[in-house]
Amino acid sequence: MEMVLTVIAKDRPGLVEALAKVISGHGGNWVDSAMSRLGGEFAGIVKISLPEDQVESLKYDLAALANQGIRVTYETDTICPIPKGIRARLEVMGQDHKGIVRDVSRILADKDVNVESLNTNVFTGSMSGEAMFSAKADIVLPDALGLDELCEALEDIAGDLMVEVELKKMK
Structural domain for 108, as ranges: 86-169
Task: Please check whether residues 64 and 90 belong to one and the same domain.
Answer: no
Residue 104 lies in a domain: yes
pTM (predicted TM-score): 0.82
Closest by CA to 37, choosing from 2, 12, 70, 71, is 12
Pick from 162, 47, 17, 9: nearest CA to 100 = 162
Query: Any idea how long the chain is?
Result: 171
pLDDT tier at 63 (50, 70, 90 boundaries)?
Answer: very high
Task: Read off the pLDDT of each residue in 23-37 and give the average, rounded to a whole number.
Answer: 96
How does pLDDT run across 9-28, given as a tens digit for each residue? 999 999 999 999 999 999 99
Higher-confidence position of 156 and 126: 156
pLDDT for res 79: 59
pLDDT at 112 over 90: yes
Among 75, 100, 128, give the residue marking a domain's end. 75
| Percent of the chain residues topping a pLDDT of 90 | 89
